[in-house]
Structure 1
């Protein structure tokens, strides 16, 4: 077995591009090796701002010889009436490098065809890798790519060197004039010289000796250690600790090849800024880690992570402090200016912000949110109606604040801060911030029902409006983040267990656009389908079988919480042997009744013992199950329905449903239809039947 070491050396790649690129390298190399029919062991990737590295262990040295079957023309077209090969057969044989006498006749689903078996000799892996590695480079996709010099290739940053080593031997890989070799480069400042690579086993240690920590996991641990060391050595405050935000750790890890922490300070006057403002300014703009005391309150300290060792700590810290001070001075000025006027005074100015070109301004959206939030509150929590209207009115006002203009990620947060400053109730202020939650899949949902109500109204308004004007997600295109909006809506409803008619609320949301878009029921149904598909994906991702989820959603998705309860009941009951049998019988019932909708049963027409027995069982089970279904006791209802297994089996064994007499046939269909409707109150269990 052999090994491959492939290093792509570049100018500094943006931090957020590195891990996705490494993931793609691993995935695509595995796919390409599979297509080449080469076996391999572990695939490892490493990356720094100046290099992307792929290592493949235990790589098969040569393709195996194999036989390949080629289907040609039909037997009828390949041979004439005398059994001689036609031009079609001769041409096919010639194209495959064989004699027409070697052609075989095989039976296919389309009939008899000619076939030739070609013996294909495997190639040396060393000969296959150059083309594969070049394609890996050309197929890497980045959020933004660039071209340089006269080259046609695009990449995140200009490629400076290529080092493709197969068992220590340099492979002939050349991309747009960038030639290959066995050399790499060390840290830009600490070890700028080139050096020779030998093999994959010593790769990490060799780079470490040139001040490059190539393993992102190891480098991340070093970043954490350096941040903690800097605080411990320079903060001189008991209990002080850096706030290690996961996203910032990932970013900083991919900004450096060798991390070194520097602790700096800022003027205590900036602590009057809201914590979120301070943290955002440090984290997002400067990539600094905030520092908090043992009580959790922010201290006038921060930690920067440099990409080189520092000799003069004070000089390095002063540079970081100077940059941060300018940013915080701006923030403090904006904060004080914003507080000079109440948040509510900004609401009328929302008419100057376009929500969507065809859907009007943000002021119009706020007014729709107010109406929809009130409608939702009246259904779910009437005592919150006035508060919901107040929150919806103020929810978007901070978009016009100077602070959000400078730090857009603070929208909602500054709304809460300014509402508190204006003396609004704490729950209203909190709901202003929380109506944006969750901000990402799997993120925290609103802690209060008030924030949830306005968050639902906000998302439904956006979904319905965009669908109404045809702005629906297609493929990778989702300009308005509608998938994220739908996932957020689902998360809120699930997280706070809010039961309501989703279709009624979507209809109300569309009515809010009166005079702007057509009130088309098809739009509401499209939105419902869109949300349902996201919901089904969410449930399957949680580990539930697709057929189980669809069994529940196919018969009703209007009330998402009710749907979840039915899914949970089906999940609990599906492992029982009798349920599997009943599911099979119900599938048969569904196929038989088809378009029949009648459920009226004439007992006088029940002649066979098995159908009388089924009718009696159905009557008894319906009396038990119907109240349970109305009380949403779906698991108990399903247990009651399992009592139908034996009577249904006997019915199908002993009774001819499609009797010759019209009345008897219709009566039996009605009996099965009534049974089907009862089962469908919980879910279409026929979808869960496995042959």
Structure 2
């Protein structure tokens, strides 16, 4: 009696779409039945299993060796295989030798087309364990998906190459193939030979998905410092890296449906903390339709033009002469105090909503107050007041960019 055993064939995959699983399992089962028949292997029931990252086939009662069988080979015709003296011809001798037999082992059979020489050979069944590797490999390679992806580069490319017996230098070259040959090779609009744009997006998506609260500026300074004097780790290099990532981030956000104006505004307020920037994009998008938004955005644009290089935010009460500027300063202090806990908790929607309550005092200020007063002290005090207001708005973003792009 032929001995039987169960076979479990399981493979790990990258995340597979749900719609791909059933067809893949069906193909695995069908191909195993075909391969088993071709290789004369008896088996019982088949079961298939799947998860998003696993495909498995279980075969019950698989015979441990092939069936013994008799193979019949048809050779040359009787007329071509023997001469008039009854001796075997070269055709008959050659046929027998090609099958590892003697001409004396040949038999004559009658077929529809005439008499022919035939050779029978008893073939002992091989062990199933020696047949399975090739069978399962063919099944694996035969699975068809609507869209297939193969990894032959990078770290996995190195692992596969080494496992296949490639020289260590070749394996290493495969891993380092897409690494830049020198610093400063920034991708162009049409060429990205080292896949840096793809890597940049992968970094950004990883930070977003894991909700990391980190400063890219600090991270890059730290990373560059590890190279010592081999790399220029100054602000110029860090800013160049940030600018490269910022372009990828901006395009990616818009491609994913974010408001382009809100993206530009939030990024102008700071991009180093990716998730912080994303939260501000959401807040700006949600409150864009508020009646106070247009007034505040228009005012912020004027503020930027007026203050230019001014950075001081020190406001002296005694220099506030007009009622409109006094009211604006009073409300600014109140709003700033209310915004601080909201900003600390990254609750940017509520923080921005507080800013929008300032639309009337801001509008009144520009109607009734001459910023460039003849008295230099008064003028500077008013510039400082507007700078303080502008800095507070910028904690959320440069909303004038939403006015320009919207």
TM range (shorter): 0.5 to 0.7
Find the structure with the greater CA-based Rg. 2
Contact 1:555 1:680 in 2 (8 A): yes
Contact 1:398 1:404 in 2 (8 A): no
Contact 1:536 1:549 in 2 (8 A): yes
Q: CA deviation at 1:328?
A: 3.5
2:48 to 293, 309, 314: 293
Distance 1:472 1:404 in 2: 35
Residue 654 of structure 1 corresponds to 368
Within 5 Å, give how 1:288-687 maps onto structure 2: 293-294=48-49, 297-299=55-57, 325=134, 328=137, 398=159, 401-403=162-164, 466=180, 469-514=183-228, 516-687=230-401
Gaps of 5+ in 1: 1-223, 232-239, 244-260, 268-290, 302-321, 332-354, 356-361, 363-394, 412-457
Q: CA deviation at 1:517?
A: 3.3
Q: What per-residue deviation string (whole Å, max 9, x for no partner) do you get for residues 414-434 of structure 1?
A: xxxxxxxxxxxxxxxxxxxxx
Within 5 Å, give how 1:162-311 maps onto structure 2: 241-242=26-27, 265-266=34-35, 293-294=48-49, 297-299=55-57
Contact 1:583 1:686 in 2 (8 A): yes
Distance 1:510 1:673 in 2: 34
Contact 1:590 1:686 in 2 (8 A): no
Distance 1:543 1:684 in 2: 20
Q: What per-residue deviation string (whole Å, max 9, x for no partner) do you get for residues 148-201 of structure 1?
A: xxxxxxxxxxxxxxxxxxxxxxxxxxxxxxxxxxxxxxxxxxxxxxxxxxxxxx
Q: CA deviation at 1:325?
A: 2.2
SS of structure 1 residue aligned to 2:310: coil
SS of structure 2 residue aligned to 1:473: coil
Gaps of 5+ in 2: 1-19, 37-45, 60-130, 141-153
Q: Closer, same or farther in 2 for the Cα pair 1:327/1:524, shift >3 Å?
A: farther
Q: CA deviation at 1:523?
A: 2.1
Contact 1:265 1:300 in 2 (8 A): no
SS of structure 2 residue aligned to 1:293: strand
Q: Closer, same or farther in 2 for the Cα pair 1:518/1:620, shift >3 Å?
A: closer
Distance 2:159 2:258 in 1: 41
Q: CA deviation at 1:298?
A: 2.5
SS of structure 1 residue aligned to 2:228: coil
Distance 1:592 1:669 in 2: 8
Q: What per-residue deviation string (whole Å, max 9, x for no partner) do you get for residues 554-584 of structure 1?
A: 1211110111111111112111111122111
The TM-score with structure 1 as length reference comes to 0.37
Q: CA deviation at 1:265?
A: 4.5
Distance 1:519 1:401 in 2: 35
Distance 1:556 1:645 in 2: 24
Q: Closer, same or farther in 2 for the Cα pair 1:608/1:462, shift >3 Å?
A: farther
Q: CA deviation at 1:472?
A: 1.4
Contact 1:586 1:685 in 2 (8 A): yes
Contact 2:259 2:285 in 1 (8 A): no
Number of aligned residues: 282
Q: Closer, same or farther in 2 for the Cα pair 1:396/1:671, shift >3 Å?
A: farther
Q: CA deviation at 1:400?
A: 6.5
Distance 2:289 2:390 in 1: 21
Contact 2:284 2:349 in 1 (8 A): yes
Residue 284 of structure 1 corresponds to none
Distance 1:585 1:685 in 2: 10
Distance 1:620 1:467 in 2: 55
SS of structure 2 residue aligned to 1:299: strand
Distance 1:557 1:468 in 2: 27
Q: Closer, same or farther in 2 for the Cα pair 1:511/1:683, shift >3 Å?
A: same
Q: What per-residue deviation string (whole Å, max 9, x for no partner) do you get for residues 477-531 of structure 1?
A: 2121000100111111111111111122222222233354333432221111111
Q: Closer, same or farther in 2 for the Cα pair 1:561/1:403, shift >3 Å?
A: farther
Distance 1:610 1:590 in 2: 20
Residue 280 of structure 1 corresponds to none
Distance 1:586 1:688 in 2: 11
Q: What per-residue deviation string (whole Å, max 9, x for no partner) do you get for residues 368-388 of structure 1?
A: xxxxxxxxxxxxxxxxxxxxx
Q: CA deviation at 1:633?
A: 1.4
Distance 1:572 1:528 in 2: 27
